[in-house]
Amino acid sequence: MDQTIQFILGSHYHIPLSAGDAAFEEAYKAGLKPFISTLYKYPKIQAALHYSGVVLQWLERAHPEFFMLIGDLISRKQVELLGGGFYEPMMPLLPLSDKIGQIELLTTYLRKQFGKRPQGCMLPLMAWEPQMVGPLNACGMAYTFLDEKQFRQGGLSGDVLAPSITEDQGKIITVFPVLSRIADGFANRRASEVIEQALQEFSSSVPQKERIICVFPERFFVEHPDTEAVEFTFHRFFEDLSGFGSRIEFTQPGKLFKSSRLLKKNYFPSSLKEDNFPKNSFVSQSSLPRQFLVGCPEANGIYAKMMFTHVLINQLRGDKSRKRTAREELWKAQGYDSFCPTRDGGVSRHAVRKTAYKALLEAEKITREKRGGIPSLVHFDFDLDGEGEYLFQGEQINCYITLEGAGIFEFDYLPRAWNYLDTFQHGFRRTAFADRLVSSDITFQDFPGALAADPRIHGRYCGGERFELLKIDKDHSRVYFRLPAKSGVPYGNVELEKNYHLKKDTLTVSYSLYNRGGVPETFKFIPSIDLSFPGEGEPFLRLLDYNPEEQIATVPGSILIINQRDITFQDIKNETLIKLTSNRNFDAWIRHIRSVCSCRGILKELYQSTCIMPIKPVSLDPDENFQIEFQLQIQH
């Protein structure tokens, strides 16, 4: 019996849209260029290439000679190009029209650039749901790839796996297994050793159609890290592959698909390739592509904004060009990095989230050009939790409010397409105007400590309690909330009312605090406002006029400001001034919020936002009330 092994060598590259030119150039020099230029010297080795549209667009602009090299490889039938979503989206999360639109955008790009329409595609993170069969089939994709672990989740077992057919609603597609255990071996051992060991798995009893190795290696063995050139690493890899002679037949998935007959049918459950995530990640504890929306509030926030924007775009009528432009902005926000903590940080990275929100807000602005910029206040289930939120949509500002804490969870400045409440903290989503009542003797030094662990410091966290809606006044863009007195909690005799009013570039938040008990209440009232600036250092952020000399200063890690009526921040990158003003003098604690995230196995502390905590001492006799008002203004 012929013992030849069919070998599919794949190469996959994606770099987030948020990455700068330096990151793209580094990837080009370290992987893209040496892989392709070395492959060119081994014409007997065939390969399947999948590069995201983000990478291809950058290559077209920065290294057009690379396109010429790929064109030569295609013309001599040495490589096959694979399709997929242009912006490397998290496919299962997308509405059907966006799934198809993303795939067709990359398909059209490949056809125009290289004269070939792809037959198959790669799914980012190999994120799979059975319902993916229909849109892939509708886009002309005949096959895709899933990891061998996903094959086993579908009930298949054994060391050798063969391509399968899967079906949904009468549509079918072929699925190739990717042997990640072999691809991972290339990082630590010579390719000759890894392949030799793999060949031993294929006994003479294995049918010819099952003697297939499909790999998409990401790293390659470097014997001498300090002295070994990148080109030599790839040369050794391809030389090792060439050394197997007739024992390996290099092929492409398109060729195997055309020759495949009588493949078994199998059904694969919702899953994803889990080793794309850092260890101990909440995502790695579940194989469900949607589960991170539950475990990561920031990811769910971007998802909710995506779905909301999708609805706005679908409401456009009579202007196909504007609608197409808005959709392409929407698609830029759908990269998988925005929805999960990948090995490079993913959604925990400030730049990843900001890039997503910028695209979503640009799409929203396009829809407003058509339907007008009339301010509105609507009650709508924005975050898809079965309960409505309150959405102010002004000419310059969006302000979204939830009943939990009657706090703001999105604060958009539309002229700069910037969400100033896009921040990140493990376990919960930070909001603005989340209020605390704490002991009067709490100091600035106490507060940044273990808030939740110390009841004296924690006090009553109104930001975690559910407010009641008192009134919504759409005509005057006002909404009123109340938090009743509550027994069994610190300062539980205090009832809190707050109302929001949005006008042009200014948000006004008015508070009334009532003592509904029979004894005096004395405490510090502390609303907290998180503002997510581009960064925390001198190039990004300045604090204006906070001392008697009215000097301009960078904001240190934490600072205490005494007896002010207003605080002004200069957002240097966005060229905006953000001013917090009150009708009463107040003290304020200001501190930067950072989170520790895993990036390529290294723990890094990343800037997320700057928290401003105005402080006002309050003493209330029974039935007495205290009132204070804050204004948050953004000026370009």
pLDDT of residue 40: 97
Q: What is the pLDDT of residues 493-531, one digit of tens each?
A: 999 999 999 999 999 999 999 999 999 999 999 999 999
Rounded to whole angstroms, the Cα distance separating 399 from 134 reads: 38
Q: Is the pLDDT of residue 277 over 80?
A: no
Rounded to whole angstroms, the Cα distance separating 96 from 134 reads: 9
> For residues 450 and 211, which has the higher predicted lDDT (pLDDT)?
211
Adjacent-strand bridge partners of 145: 176
pLDDT band at residue 481, thresholds of 50, 70 and 90? very high
pLDDT of residue 300: 93
Rounded to whole angstroms, the Cα distance separating 134 from 13 reads: 25
pLDDT band at residue 371, thresholds of 50, 70 and 90? low
* Inter-residue contact 579 to 588 (CB < 8 Å): no
pLDDT of residue 135: 97
Q: Is the pLDDT of residue 600 over 90?
A: no
Q: What is the pLDDT of residues 58-68, one digit of tens each?
A: 999 999 999 99
pLDDT of residue 1: 41
Residue 346's region, left for phi above 0, alpha for psi from -120 to 50, else beta, is left
For the chain, what is the mean pLDDT?
A: 90
pLDDT of residue 369: 80
Q: Which whole number is the average pLDDT over 206-211? A: 67
**List of domains in the chain:** 5-276 (3.20.110.20), 282-372 (no CATH), 397-635 (2.70.98.10)
pLDDT of residue 414: 96
Sequence-ordered list of residues with C-beta below 8 angstroms from that of 328, at least 6 positions apart, any chain: 105
* Inter-residue contact 499 to 485 (CB < 8 Å): no
> For residues 113 and 551, which has the higher predicted lDDT (pLDDT)?
113
pLDDT of residue 453: 40
Percent of the chain with pLDDT over 70: 90
pLDDT of residue 558: 81
Phi, psi of 222 (to 5 degrees): -120, 115
Say which range, 150-164, 209-223, 392-406, 436-450, has the weakest mean pLDDT.
436-450
Q: Is the pLDDT of residue 452 over 50?
A: no
CA of residue 432 relative to chain centroid, distance = 21
Rounded to whole angstroms, the Cα distance separating 196 from 498 reads: 70
Rounded to whole angstroms, the Cα distance separating 565 from 468 reads: 30
Q: Is the pLDDT of residue 204 over 90?
A: no
SS3 string, 435-454, reads: EEEECCCCCCCCCCCCCCCC
Sequence-ordered list of residues with C-beta below 8 angstroms from that of 195, at least 6 positions apart, any chain: 182, 213, 240, 241, 244, 248
The full length of the chain comes to 636
Q: What is the pLDDT of residues 99-149, one digit of tens each?
A: 999 999 999 999 999 999 999 999 999 999 999 999 999 999 999 999 999
Q: Which whole number is the average pLDDT over 159-165? A: 82
Say which range, 144-158, 321-335, 483-497, 516-530, has the weakest mean pLDDT.
144-158
pLDDT band at residue 275, thresholds of 50, 70 and 90? low
Adjacent-strand bridge partners of 588: 561, 614
pLDDT of residue 288: 76
Rounded to whole angstroms, the Cα distance separating 405 from 394 reads: 22
